[in-house]
Amino acid sequence: MLRFTANLSLLFTELPLPERFQAAKQCGFDAVEIQFPYSLPVEQIHDILDQLDLQLVLFNVDADTLLQGGEGLVAVPEKRDQFKTAVEQTLAYAARLRPNLINVLPGCCLDPQRLGEYQTTLLENLAYAASAFADLGIKTVFEAVNSYDMPGFIIDTGQQMLDVLAKVDHPNLSMQYDIYHMSRMGEDCGGFLRQHLDKIGHIQFADCPGRAQPGTGAVDFDSLFNIIATSDYQGWVGAEYRPTAGTVASLPWLKTYSIK
């Protein structure tokens, strides 16, 4: 079965963030996700979700300056305390909003000579986060990001995600699989999904190249969505793309692939 969420950090950006929730509901989404919700008070988000009967599926732990070209938080040895503070902020929001999942972005290492240190710190902090969110009954995920769009990203392949998952070996940790990022890396997304869906807690997608809506690139969504829909996967599939000509105009795929 396919259950889609609208990522409000990339979709409906024609509107201020508080208005995107209603726009998503009006377009047929029953659930949303947000990269970083911290610009809005937690009570405001809670009230909007409650009024619209929307489910918040996922949001991220703060990643410092990662999206502005920095290294992020979770893997940087000197930022261990800052990462723990970010987890506390996320816990406060999660306790009120009760998402299904919290995503932890592994981040970048911009000094290759320190990669080993960063990898060790990443493993330690992923275990810390997985334990912290387990206390709320909320699953923790982490993702690979393609190293073309974000050079130096510590995890940029599906196999690296599997390796990290095995090393951390925490029952509350699973993978977030992003079809766009792994397509950008030239991976066989269909083969990976067939083999490893039991280790995936969340899926996101955009077409590739371009990171726009389905139908604008070369990704075979008919095949990939069929793999997910006919599997035992119980999670959500997040629309995390940049619409080419407005969000509403980008949504024909939703009617095509949704199964109520």
Residues annotated as part of the active site: 143, 240
Could you give the residue ranges of the DSSP H alpha helices within 27-157? Answer: 42-52, 80-97, 115-134
Element (DSSP H or E) covering residue 164: helix 158-168
- The closest of 177, 79, 173, 76 to 133, measured between CA atoms, is 173
Amino acid at 243: P
Residue 57, both tokens: 């599926």
Spatial contact of 32 and 239, defined as CB atoms under 8 Å apart: no
Spatial contact of 60 and 104, defined as CB atoms under 8 Å apart: yes
Residue 95, both tokens: 């306790």
Calculate helix-pair angle for 42-52, 80-97, nearest 10 degrees: 30
How far apart (Å, rounded) are the C-alpha atoms in residues 195 and 112? 31
